Structure 1
């Protein structure tokens, strides 16, 4: 009751509250307004603004009466990171032909060098090879690396994948790409996105390139090898890589957009680059709380609800604004986890315990969730499922739910049953080549063997929702305009999704059997290559 009174009081005092919005909708929006306030300075992991946001989440957990589930009896789990900045304009690059002729490739304009994943080398000089989609799935009958010699080379690949492969399968393989390319002897990789598959316009990507990257300080926990080079090319200049190869970027892009087979072949060019990078150590916390279950046996197991607290901080100005507030990405997800915590706390206790995991450094490569999944603050093996919120986008009425991962585990059947009980239905991922399944924090739990789902408002091609989602990403995604002044956010529709996920969490928590991987899932241990 004390927590409910606090929520109503917060809603009543919020200048952003709307008379037609329910108290829970207003409280959800208030949490977003606090976390996306300019005072949080974009919640970049390792900054004072991020710490202020973490302190607010701890305050809200306490107000809800949730027990701490972090380290040393508290709510936090402290993580050590290395922050890395690549000075794009102090770095250099050129495409070098066989006769030694070098054509400059402007870093920060035509080429963006990624600062994420691992320490970058000071320089690289290596031949290029085009590896199609860059998918290494021999067990599924597709292997773009077959017959290629990648030793000492930079692999160039294009976005997308063959239609015959399921979205999560392709996405999971892309997530492991640096690891398997390095194992094959490659020294780097370059991503080519087709113009039709680009989410963030290149002009904004260039602005974002000045921001920091990160990797975990503990080398044993890194997935990208040290010294590996990673970058992306402006689609408008990608044709330069194919000169003299007998192929064109337009040809490859047309095949990729149609999800048709894409060939692999050598590119008659080398990439020669110097990389100006600086590094420093930073720390930041995950924030974790729990609601203890009611069953004497099952309470030692957990259903996790997760969202990421960080955003991208302060960056290059767009329309005079330098603070990237991250209201939808992902203050909205954190607010939904807090709303679900309030709902579950107010009702009968679920049989299993519920774990509320608010993670750091999602924007830097799912680092906070990766760390937590490998080093949980509860006994290993006790987490039976993860239900994740990342940018659910309540911008149109909720009629369908995109539950990414629903075809991989028994959670999918439970999700469909609970959806029907709530007047909803699940929808297939309309954009599987976007790789969303591996770009949200539930995937860290999946890699640790834990069945998981990630939730968004459903949208289908040809609908208003599809257009709204596309336009929002083109305009607001990773931009300062993702703040509380953006129009069109439907607060009570967000609460409907919260109610659905709360009901699903309770169902999973109360079901005696743990969720299991389906027999055909690529994540089922029985289907993994030896």
Structure 2
């Protein structure tokens, strides 16, 4: 693939223009939609609210994976799916897929020593000069190695950029900056600088460790106080992790700006020069002279959680073996630090409303006459561990309970933010594939406007469960609110930002908060129609020609 790399902002605007041109085309309402009005109208706001009310009740204690409260949520959604005629699609004839979670914590006694070419070695202070990410596979690791600075840690020659060009990093620890490049569009930038992508890149280059360096003088290296969580397979191996890559990498962690300065003593370039080059969009790798001696200790807490998977079987003899996957995460943050006297993080909007959307969608399918049933099968999947790093969806996307090659698309619903009438929507990810067409058709049928993302800085495309399917080569999208308002000011994002400041990821996200359940009803109808159109189309969704994610993942997927 040959790509012309232009300024990230300009490229983002170009992509949005392409999306607008696609969505602006008048798409005639497909005949199947016109026949679905009666079933669509069965969606009941009272029923939607009742799901949210139960899932966000204090007795579920914030639905943290591995807790009794999360199990109550699992039992509830399984019962609701059964009532709506959904068939089990989990393991061993059940609705459940077991997800084994390992919480890993860095133990006291971890150490880092730097030995310069001349002079005495320096023992650094944990929590001040450096921190380590816990290792979910080994309780103790030791590394003695040289060091190399590799800019942002990006190796993307196809984009005209490679921080590793000319560097020998085999057997060494790679140091990268926490700054972000400005030359790429948002989604590409976020993928290339994602912690896991940087680790995978370093591993491919033969490195034995990665250290992220702060450039802010007063900033302490971040400490994963709550630990980091991975998924284990049935044999006890690490199956999914956002902070660990097996196969050579022994160490991952962070250092402060003062430690970075120490590493550059005697190097061919100083930190000021290399950081200026990076800000100008130029790679600035350099060999570092000190050697590192590190010891990292970890301890574990293992627990079991579950994904829930149900199936609505298709009618076509061949296409019924292909699947459109609807997802919503069932978990939230549990019990945490009190805010305004409340310590239960109920997650009413995040993501009881998304779960309610899928349950009510299943109800629509139950109301369809046999001749209007979809050709493909539909999976209703409630996943665990989204708040821990998209873990449940990543495990399902890599190890689905149906043949992986038969997954044709994912439509994700995460915190639709139903606090005002739904007049427009943003299909995050639709610009990457042919899924833009059913989105446009479904939105038009419901009188909704399709818009570009009003908050691109939120980076929402790679922050929720649809991204787990994208990295496995499966076209996916996530429907969020648009900016349109009834008063014509078209500034809904401003209201959402104010709401988020006082509610998002706080105990205040409970059933007593701000809701527009009529908007929830329309979200149900929209998500149903998008999935239904894909499930009734004889053609599988396809990645757009030359699309970054399609080129990167569409042929082989990724171990992410």
Per the normalisation by structure 1, the TM-score is: 0.79
Match of 2:433 among 394, 400, 409: 409
Q: Which residue is 1:18 aligned to?
A: none
Q: Which residue is 2:306 aligned to?
A: 285
Q: Which residue is 2:162 aligned to?
A: 143
CA contact (8 A) 1:300 1:352 kept: yes
**Partner Cα separation in structure 1 for residue 346 and residue 78 of structure 2:** 20
**Partner Cα separation in structure 2 for residue 440 and residue 370 of structure 1:** 10
Aligned residue runs from structure 1 range 262-277, under 5 A = 263-265=284-286, 274-277=295-298
Aligned residue runs from structure 1 range 13-412, under 5 A = 24-87=44-107, 90=108, 96=114, 98=116, 99-100=119-120, 102=122, 104-107=124-127, 113-115=132-134, 119=138, 121-122=140-141, 129-151=148-170, 152-165=172-185, 167-168=187-188, 170-171=190-191, 174=194, 175-191=196-212, 209-211=225-227, 213-217=229-233, 218-219=236-237, 221-222=239-240, 224-226=244-246, 228-231=250-253, 238=257, 241-242=260-261, 246-247=270-271, 263-265=284-286, 274-347=295-368, 348-412=372-436
Q: CA RMSD in A?
A: 3.8
SS of the equivalent of 1:523 reads helix
**Partner Cα separation in structure 1 for residue 459 and residue 468 of structure 2:** 14
**Partner Cα separation in structure 1 for residue 424 and residue 125 of structure 2:** 45
2:510 is aligned with 1:494: no
**Partner Cα separation in structure 1 for residue 283 and residue 515 of structure 2:** 40
**Partner Cα separation in structure 2 for residue 387 and residue 445 of structure 1:** 10
CA displacement 1:298-349 (0-9 Å, x = unmatched) = 3232211001112233344445544333333322221221122222322342
Deviation at 1:292, TM superposition (A): 1.9
Bigger Cα Rg: 2
**Partner Cα separation in structure 2 for residue 77 and residue 519 of structure 1:** 35
**Partner Cα separation in structure 2 for residue 232 and residue 67 of structure 1:** 47
SS of the equivalent of 2:510 reads coil
Deviation at 1:180, TM superposition (A): 1.8
**Partner Cα separation in structure 2 for residue 524 and residue 493 of structure 1:** 32
SS of the equivalent of 1:520 reads coil
Match of 1:517 among 531, 543, 546: 543
Deviation at 1:288, TM superposition (A): 0.7
Moved more, 57-66 or 30-39: 30-39
**Partner Cα separation in structure 2 for residue 66 and residue 317 of structure 1:** 39
Q: Structure 1 residues 191, 455: closer, same or farther in 2, change over 3 A?
A: farther
Moved more, 419-428 or 306-315: 419-428
Q: Structure 1 residues 255, 340: closer, same or farther in 2, change over 3 A?
A: farther
Runs of 4+ deviating beyond 6 Å: 192-195, 249-252, 267-272, 526-530
CA contact (8 A) 2:315 2:373 kept: yes
Q: Structure 1 residues 141, 304: closer, same or farther in 2, change over 3 A?
A: same
Unaligned runs of 5+ in 1: 1-21, 196-201
CA contact (8 A) 1:42 1:49 kept: yes
SS of the equivalent of 1:524 reads helix
**Partner Cα separation in structure 2 for residue 501 and residue 371 of structure 1:** 23
Q: Structure 1 residues 133, 250: closer, same or farther in 2, change over 3 A?
A: closer
Per the normalisation by structure 2, the TM-score is: 0.75
CA contact (8 A) 1:131 1:263 kept: yes
CA contact (8 A) 1:84 1:278 kept: yes
Q: Structure 1 residues 481, 331: closer, same or farther in 2, change over 3 A?
A: same
CA contact (8 A) 1:116 1:213 kept: no
CA displacement 1:441-471 (0-9 Å, x = unmatched) = 22222233221112222359x9744444445
Q: Structure 1 residues 446, 106: closer, same or farther in 2, change over 3 A?
A: same
Match of 1:507 among 504, 528, 533: 533
When the two structures are aligned, how many residues end up with a matched partner? Answer: 490
